[in-house]
Amino acid sequence: MLLFSALMEFTPQQIAVLERLHSQGFEIVAFPMYANYVGIRKGDCAVLLAPLQAGTFSIYAKPTFLIAGNFAVRITRDGRDFFVWKKDKLEATPARLAQLESFAAGLSEVLLPRA
């Protein structure tokens, strides 16, 4: 989290969220092209979180796969789904989709306000 201290200021609530994410095996990473967002990664999956003034985070875009360290876009080509970044692509296999769903579910569990 020190990585972001020079770029962003976090509320105690946001720091607690980042600590919970880290304790669940998520990595907090910087993506230079998205300096105003907090990168969250686990395995080959990643997402950007937007800090909100209310002391929380919102998901900036849908979780996706990383290809060569970059956010991939999901496309359908010839009736098949792929994750693509530039000329590189990964087929959206059932195993990859399950990995992405698990990543998104774990992320949502941490981001949801505790009752």
CA atoms of 81 and 14, how far apart (whole Å): 35
pLDDT tens digits for range 60-80 = 989 999 999 999 999 999 999
Looking at every residue in the chain, the average pLDDT score rounds to 90
CB neighbour list of residue 109: distance below 8 Å, 6 or more residues apart: 24
Which letter does DSSP use for residue 80 in this model? Answer: E
Backbone angles phi, psi at 84, to 5 degrees: -130, 140
3 state DSSP class of 100: helix
Question: What is the pTM (predicted TM-score) of this model?
Answer: 0.86
How many independent structural domains does the chain possess? 1
Which domain covers residue 76, as residue numbers? Answer: 2-111
DSSP code, position 23: H
